[in-house]
Amino acid sequence: MTTRAQKEQLQRELDLIRGNKEMLDPKDVVEWAEKNPDSALYASFEWRDDEAAKQYRLWQARRLIALHVVTETGERKTVSLTVDRSNGGGYRQIEDVVRVPALRETMLRDALSELRRVRAKYESLVELAAVFAEIDKVNEQFATKDVA
């Protein structure tokens, strides 16, 4: 888990790399981190190529599952729940999850958490205010009653 001080250090280093440029380029971040082995950014990367390759292939497998395990109309058929990710990971069939109240509740909690991240990212877009208001309503309902 990243501490507040580590997050602040990472932010300072990323700001330094961006400088006065309009965009922060991931290639610049990796190059800078590689040249600064005592930095917080350096510590955030996996530098052993064998392990990095293994992690990248796992990321590719997750992406393949998310993109290709779908219904005939293109809807996702699987979900990765936080409870599963904390125990090694994996994907469940959505139809199985919604049948089990505890798993359905976890899926809803995960969805609301993801929506909070989306809101934090896009809150400055006034065009989405009505969407965020509806999310707030669901959050309030969820907080005041059990999810069935």
Asked whether residue 65 falls in the same domain as residue 111, the answer is no
At residue 70, the 3 state secondary structure works out as strand
> Residue 78 and residue 109: Cα distance in Å, rounded?
16
Tell me, yes or no, whether 57 and 95 share the same domain.
Answer: no
Residues 88 and 144 in one domain: yes
Same domain, 88 and 136: yes
* Residue 145 confidence (pLDDT): 66
Mean pLDDT by 10 residues, the chain (148 residues): 89 96 96 97 97 96 87 86 87 94 94 93 96 91 68
Which pLDDT value is given to residue 131? 95
Residue 3 is given by DSSP the state -
CA 8 vs CA 15, 83, 105, 115: distances in Å: 10, 28, 34, 24
State how many domains the chain has: 3
In this structure, the answer to whether residues 30 and 54 fall within a common structural domain is no
pLDDT attached to residue 148: 47
pTM: 0.73
**1 and 64 fall within a common domain:** no
Both 34 and 88 in one domain: the answer is no
27 and 51 assigned to the same domain: no
Domain range enclosing 105: 77-148
d(CA 136, CA 114): 13
